[in-house]
Amino acid sequence: VQLQASGGGLVQQGGSLRLSCTASELTLDEYSIGWFRQAPGGERAGLSCITSYDLSTTYSDSVKGRFTISRDNAKNTIYLEMNNLEPEDTAVYFCAARFTGHCANYELPRLYDYWGQGTLVTVSS
């Protein structure tokens, strides 16, 4: 089972992108969903998470106020709206699903059950 992340691309500093995460073999409304990113040579960093049951959200300090996570259960899709992008946001972005449904310790990759293949976001200065 694999999630599919899409929506990455090349954008100028200050621009916006919306990433999508979906799955053909999972009903994502049963899972909490996290977004991560990994820059070249860096570790996978947790950015945001949305719960399955009350849609509460959590953000890392690096993206709080600029990124918004949301979900459309009818479309089995989770989104990450990214605004005011900076060159430091350049990375491969991943979505991941967690069966527990909550977002405690959302930044720990090992707590997630399924992952997507990643989508590349490049922000030019």
Instruction: Report pLDDT digits (tens) over 106-119.
Output: 999 999 999 989 99
CA-based nearest residue to 73, from 93, 101, 94, 45:
101
pLDDT of the residue at 115: 95
- Rounded CA-CA distance 22/38 in Å is 19
Band (2; pLDDT cuts 50, 70, 90): confident
pLDDT of the residue at 1: 74
79: tokens are 């989104």
